[in-house]
Structure 1
Amino acid sequence: MSPWEVFAVKYADRNARTRADSFIFDDNHDAPHAMDYFMWLLRAGTRTILVDTGYDDAEAAARNRPIRLDPAAALAPFGLTPDDITDIIVTHLHYDHAGGLALFPNAHLHLQAAEMAYATGPCMCHDTLRMPFTASHVCEAVQRLYSGKLTFYDGSADIAEGVSVHCIGGHSRGLQCVRVHTQAGWMVLASDAAHFYENLQARKPFPIVVDLQNMLDGFDRLERLASHPSLIIPGHDPLVRQYFPQDLADHIHRLDAGPTQDVTL
């Protein structure tokens, strides 16, 4: 099995946040706590898989959450255009992970069935649960389904040799992480199963949650899936850019060789 190259691609950040926005249980809740927004690119030979899509300028304006790079432009240092992307693993359908689906018209989507059921079901009658979703993004996923460009999974499944998805839930009903065979061992892109290293290492849940038990159980699952805890990559932690080397451009960090320093908080 050939190892995959794995890249974190930062397209946005948000600094006007506090620790109360990141942790349910935290005594220092008023302290600043910044967040980065990433997509991830997997590459092995001629095969490329994009994990999540970020969100575009229209969504940024609608939510007043500016982006630094259009997600399609963020991939330019790889020599890729949006039309080159043929496979996208959608970890979940929240706006910041599926908000750029329409930018990649040729892509086949890989999604948990539980996530589509959640995003189109009775839970969306509640404003609090609906808040991280945008209807047009969900509709884009439905359109891919009807055009034969979406595959559903129920739990764990192989996407390619050395790449698998695993349903975690918790933050969103069908949230899935991605396990990748790399030169450093089995790496796990946690996405929002662990927004920050501290969520995982201190077992502190993130406040946006549909099933708290699944979120807490998911921390254990992430650790079982990875060859080493340092190979679990949180979905939004600025520390990723400190622990892993820059590659190709300022906004791209290469992950597959492992961290360059201890990731224990």
Structure 2
Amino acid sequence: MGNLLIITVIALNQHLHTPMYFFLGSLSFLDLCYISVMVPKSMTDSLTNNRLISFSGCVTQVFLVVTFTAAELAFLTVVVYDHYIAICHPLHYKVTMNRGACAQLADGSWISSMMSCVLHTTNTFRLHFCRSNVISQLFCDIPQLLRISCSDAHANVIVMIAPVSLVDVVCFVLIIVSYIHIFSTVMRIPSEQSRYKAFSTCIPHLVVFCLFIGTVSFTYIRSRSMSSTSLDLMAAVLYCVVPPLMNPIIYSLRNKEIKKSLWNMIGRIFFSQEK
């Protein structure tokens, strides 16, 4: 609901059609799609006690989960870059983050995530599955599928670990370097209120990002000997549910312009109904 409200408010308010809110709206749309892939299905399974999923449904779920996981990581990095330009180079912000640059960053995030999901989905479902049809996870997850495969999965493990490790390291370094520059700039701000406002946005995002990248890395990079059903389920909740839940609270629902536009929209709806 929070993500849907943010998308609606940004779309309807012309004053919010700026680079920062473009990325926040894109992140909310991504989070809405991301959490819709697995949570509704898992809730339905629990309520109906029917835990079956078709093979084609499993392929679709893997495809979408990998797409949105990769896109989430990319957009979290892009949002930090936007913050870095806005705080550290405010006079160059409009030139650097023009419409073309925003479109390129968004398109690059989606294209790279699509390429990643095609690689991993194709690589996973070329295997034969004959050991079991039971997956100890809330959704079809690649590490769990590799465990029930009767084919040699060593090449799959390498293809899974190498790109994930490289992307995680690159995004982590970019975000940490950006935050070092952001924090050093914020500390030079004379106003204590402005420093508090900057830190209150940056620190929660850093925590959510570290939680997201840590649990994703734990799920996809660790060895099979470290496998545990309870740990797998906990990690899945942390990287699938927490970021879509926290991002609207961190970025948008605490933002004065978003809150003002939201209350104006609600006021217009109720006012028109009363008339």
TM-score of Structure 1 vs Structure 2, range by shorter chain: under 0.3
Taking structure 1 as the reference length, the TM-score comes to 0.28
Tell which structure's C-alpha radius of gyration is larger.
2
Tell me which protein shows more helix as a share of its residues: 2
Tell me which protein shows more strand as a share of its residues: 1
Taking structure 2 as the reference length, the TM-score comes to 0.27
Which of the pair has the greater relative contact order for Cα pairs under 8 Å at 6+ separation? Answer: 2
